[in-house]
Amino acid sequence: GIQVEQSPPDLILQEGANSTLRCNFSDSVNNLQWFHQNPWGQLINLFYIPSGTKQNGRLSATTVATERYSLLYISSSQTTDSGVYFCAVEETSGSRLTFGEGTQLTVNP
Amino acid sequence: GAGVSQSPSNKVTEKGKDVELRCDPISGHTALYWYRQSLGQGLEFLIYFQGNSAPDKSGLPSDRFSAERTGGSVSTLTIQRTQQEDSAVYLCASSLVRTQPQHFGDGTRLSIL
């Protein structure tokens, strides 16, 4: 099956800093989604982004499908951004989402 | 409701008992998914429903696990003869159709004693 690798595994920031999270995948995909799991365990869909660039407030994402990677940018980070960020992809041959192991982000005040 | 609803939110049971977990998707969403998240781990796909049928049930870890969906809406995941390794958070997601963003419920935290 498809492999999804996220980096870095852990990231600690001071409030106000910017960061870039990366997701590499090993095969062609139908779609790619970024999720944020907050400290209470709730999973929030951030972006549905099989290709191109999208922005939502302080967050933006870019997927380069031909090179099999996606980037999630967080600008002017806030303590509420803390949690785990997951990248998930759907293979062209399937219907399931395969999740990466996540990036654990801690934003300190 | 506005979001995906799961019940119960927590379930503690003894090894060997059967459990049923319920998922009520967002109204109008035809695609429904079950995932499992063990402590500190990523999400593991279990099963996908399109309407009432399950085109992909390849993620179910053993024949003790089964799921159904009736009326194209509510789904139940049943685990028979529970084992300690079944302890995890079971998450349900729905999407308008398969190729659209998935929206998750808050999960059921299952603990097997």
Question: Model confidence over B51-94: pLDDT tens digits?
Answer: 888 888 889 999 999 999 988 899 999 999 999 999 999 999 99
Paired with B42 in beta bridges are none
Instruction: In whole angstroms, give the CA distance from residue A73 to residue A55.
Output: 9
pLDDT tens digits along A73-104? 999 999 999 999 999 999 887 778 999 999 99
> What pLDDT, on a 0 to 100 scale, did the predictor assign at position B1?
53
Rg, chain B, Cα only: 13
Nearest to A31 by CA among B37, B42, B98, B50: B98
Give how far A99 is from chain B: nearest CA, Å. Answer: 6
Task: Flag whether residue B96 sits within 8 Å of chain A, measured between CB atoms.
Answer: no
Chain A contact for B61, CB < 8 A? no
Q: Which residues, listed in sequence order, are joined to residue A104 by a DSSP beta bridge?
A: A10, A84
The per-residue pLDDT for A92 is 82
Angle at A77 (CA atoms; ends A34, A39), nearest 5 degrees: 60
Instruction: Say whether B99 and A30 touch across the interface (CB within 8 A).
Output: yes
> What amino acid is encoded at A94 in this protein?
G
Does the CB of B42 have a partner CB in chain A at under 8 Å?
Answer: yes
B57 to chain A, any CB pair closer than 8 A? The answer is: no
d(C-alpha A42, C-alpha B8), whole Å: 15
Q: Please give the biggest Cα pair distance in chain B.
A: 38
Residue B39: band (very low, low, confident or very high) from pLDDT cuts 50, 70, 90 = confident
Tell me which long-range contacts A58-61 makes (C-beta under 8 A, separation of at least 24): A61/A34
Q: Which of B102, B108, B110 to mutate to test the interface with A (most CBs of A within 10 A)?
A: B102
Q: Which residues of B touch A41 (CB under 8 A)?
A: 89, 106-107
Q: How many CB atoms lie within 10 A of CB B113?
A: 10
Contact A96/B56, CB-based, under 8 Å?
Answer: yes
What number of other Cβ atoms are within 10 A of residue B38's Cβ?
A: 13
pLDDT digits (tens, 9 = 90+) for A28-77: 999 999 999 999 999 999 999 999 999 999 999 999 999 999 999 999 99
The token pair that represents B2 in the structure block: 């506005």
Per-residue tokens: B19: 């459990």
- CB nearest to A43's CB, from B44, B56, B91: B91
Is B102 touching A (CB cutoff 8 A)?
A: yes
**Residue-level length of chain A:** 109
Q: How far apart are CA B64 and CA B60, in angstroms?
A: 9
